[in-house]
Amino acid sequence: MTLVEVLAIQDPKRRAAALYFSHEFRPDDPLAVKLAKSVAVPEAGVWGTNVQARLAEMYKAKPRRRRAKTASSEAPSNIFLMLLELEDELAGGDSQHQISEP
């Protein structure tokens, strides 16, 4: 499909799908960029997201980084130990808790 034919499509989902598979979809074409922005709406669903990802890939943009799902090695292994240590600090260090780490 040409970009002009894609422009004639009114439904955001269908427009996004047609744009995604269009061979004329290039980041240097202002009409293609305008169409990509027009499908960057929730109504376009997954196809709108796919168009945005493809456009970013064409621009060679860095992907968004996700936060690590694992805990940092500096983090305490047990939140209860951390809370006891915090309680000790707030009490002035004279707490009666016996903490023994393995």
User: Is residue 25 assigned to a domain?
Assistant: yes
Whole-Å CA distances, 41 to 16, 32, 49:
10, 16, 9
**Whether pLDDT at 97 is above 60:** no
Inside any domain, residue 26: yes
Q: Which residue has the higher pLDDT, 44 or 67?
A: 44
What's the pLDDT score for residue 14? 92
pLDDT over 70 for what percent of the chain? Answer: 74
* Residue 42 placed within a domain: yes
Domain assignment present for 78: no
Given a cut of 60, whether residue 81 has pLDDT beyond it is yes
Q: Is residue 40 part of a domain?
A: yes
User: How many domains does the chain contain in total?
Assistant: 1
Alpha carbon distance 92, 95 (integer Å): 8
Does the residue 10 lie in any domain?
Answer: yes
Domain that holds residue 22: 3-58
